[in-house]
Structure 1
């Protein structure tokens, strides 16, 4: 087992990364169904929580079937982070996670996310403020450093552990890299190998297949793996990795029945949580990823993103299911650089 404070996870847990505009409750529901061991909300602005901003408050929604579930916050002000931690406490998730890794400009220019990598003392103060302000186990997600000349994850890990955090997730890129190039897990391995480090270390970045998950587990010795972009439109990756690690064999790619079933659940959860119009509209970004690989699917995709009722979408999904009944999908090939998203 891997323990994060009082939370016990399977021996080598697979975590769903928090991704802005992706890791909402509908998406988390289908990932949970397909093997995600620990999930996080989209990241939430500490300032937004304090202002009682509607979007920030909505992101606090969690459900019992998701547990264990963490709420992730970000910000650059100690007082705001401490107050936000207290607000999160009232929601009663299983843990509180702090985002020190998001590389996008709108976050970094506010002195939050990956910007904090330039000031480790500030990072320590922000983290300590959260640890003091909540009874929840606190974890952190971050990157290797600001750029290749300032990779400081070794010092960061030790100092954050000293504040009382219970686990650390590390994306194997610098902020300067954004999502380009290859994630360098050798720095993550050095953190894990540090005899001073006692907390679980989770690796993140470029895990897109069962083979790579097993290779990185063995090669870098991390306590678990966090998966982000590779789960978009493909929540089956969690169970595929688990099956491969246990048996050395691949599960067959999900067939059209499985894909339509997951799309339908994702859609209905989206409408239930967001409301009819936003639920349908925001679901449109997912169809292409779910249906990738099907020949001559363009016309069906066009229909899915233009109709305006759940009944019409359900009818189109039934038509797709019948049209492609028995279709043999090829094993998935992921083009990670084309799937960049905020805060994976």
Structure 2
């Protein structure tokens, strides 16, 4: 069954989406999420058809100085179209980070001007920059001039309801050479409370000629369709709803391309992806840190499972200190539905 409105379907029909010279194969992206979009999750999202994935936010100054944790966040091994998101308040550090990221294989650089976390905004970075468009301009200019690859920008609607200046920042960014804008449909003051205002994103789309991506509260294919219809955007970016189901971004990309839903990935394919994701985290972080980092993902895989005793399995997943025990419990989340379907 198709739920794409005729006018939305005809808008995208036969149209490729380009970010600068880069052609994308779809219109559903995995959002950058601190502590979440690790290398393993990005690989899994791509495997199941995500059109684009973006690294966790990287602190530009620390990354440029060689900080190991930020270098790990920017890792892109096994990702063909690698995007690194950088954040900062110093133009020189942003330029240095852009140089380094592209030298390390990034095909695109994304500038974060949307993070609402106090530790970021108190450092005059992230969504704080929507209160200082002069500094925002300097950071954009430095990054674009340093980069040999397309530079994109992620932001919010504004700092608060009294300063909804995303369209103004979007015009500044476009004039400086930014190739794409992503807009989260909340202000910084909202953090993640309330409902994302997809219709408010339309003001940005109407202000610029470059692609605009709508972000915030996309939890279903129907949400994605409504986001595009209300915002007029060219693509959707999916964040929290992809945790525990990295295949969901690909589900949306398929629907937007084909106008019909695809079959849910087989339990065996989901099990393989979840186990590989976990093993990747152990490999890149080491057994102890990898196990701790993985718990948010393991809990989410359980939350999306349909096995009757998923809560029991969830407790095993987040409390076990033994990697083999974790993998055994993780397999159970997907093997039982498979057995029921085979019967």
TM-score by length of 1: 0.88
Deviation at 1:168?
A: 0.7
| 1:42-99, Cα deviation, whole Å (9 max, x unpaired) | 1111121233222112222112x32212111101112221222222231121111100
Instruction: Indicate the residue corresponding to 2:223 in structure 1.
Output: 212
In structure 2, relative to structure 1, the CA distance for the partners of 1:281 and 1:193 (3 Å cut) is: same
2:297 corresponds to which of 265, 268, 286: 286
Alignment of 1:223-234 (within 5 A): 223-234=234-245
Instruction: Indicate the residue corresponding to 1:174 in structure 2.
Output: 187
Instruction: Indicate the residue corresponding to 1:47 in structure 2.
Output: 61
**What root-mean-square deviation, in Å, do the aligned CA atoms of Structure 1 and Structure 2 show?**
2.0
> Hey, what's the Cα distance between the residues in 1 that align with 2:297 and 2:275?
11
Aligned with 1:66: secondary structure? Answer: coil
Alignment of 1:64-103 (within 5 A): 65-103=78-116
> Hey, what's the Cα distance between the residues in 2 that align with 1:36 and 1:181?
27
Q: Is the 8 A contact 2:200 2:231 kept in 1?
A: no
In structure 2, relative to structure 1, the CA distance for the partners of 1:82 and 1:317 (3 Å cut) is: closer
Instruction: Indicate the residue corresponding to 1:270 in structure 2.
Output: 281
In structure 2, relative to structure 1, the CA distance for the partners of 1:37 and 1:250 (3 Å cut) is: closer
Q: Is the 8 A contact 1:18 1:72 kept in 2?
A: yes
Instruction: Indicate the residue corresponding to 2:42 in structure 1.
Output: 28
Deviation at 1:319?
A: 4.3
> Hey, what's the Cα distance between the residues in 1 that align with 2:19 and 2:99?
19
1:18 corresponds to which of 26, 32, 36: 32
In structure 2, relative to structure 1, the CA distance for the partners of 1:101 and 1:311 (3 Å cut) is: same
Q: Is the 8 A contact 1:147 1:174 kept in 2?
A: yes
In structure 2, relative to structure 1, the CA distance for the partners of 1:137 and 1:247 (3 Å cut) is: closer
| 1:141-168, Cα deviation, whole Å (9 max, x unpaired) | 0011100000001111111111111111
Instruction: Indicate the residue corresponding to 2:17 in structure 1.
Output: 2
Q: Is the 8 A contact 1:38 1:67 kept in 2?
A: no
Q: Is the 8 A contact 1:259 1:290 kept in 2?
A: no
**Gapped regions of structure 1 (runs ≥ 5):** 329-344
Alignment of 1:124-203 (within 5 A): 124-194=137-207, 197-203=208-214
> Hey, what's the Cα distance between the residues in 2 that align with 1:243 and 1:133?
35
In structure 2, relative to structure 1, the CA distance for the partners of 1:36 and 1:247 (3 Å cut) is: closer
Q: Is the 8 A contact 2:213 2:233 kept in 1?
A: yes
> Hey, what's the Cα distance between the residues in 2 that align with 1:71 and 1:246?
26
In structure 2, relative to structure 1, the CA distance for the partners of 1:244 and 1:4 (3 Å cut) is: closer
TM-score by length of 2: 0.88
Instruction: Indicate the residue corresponding to 1:60 in structure 2.
Output: 74
Aligned with 1:170: secondary structure? Answer: strand
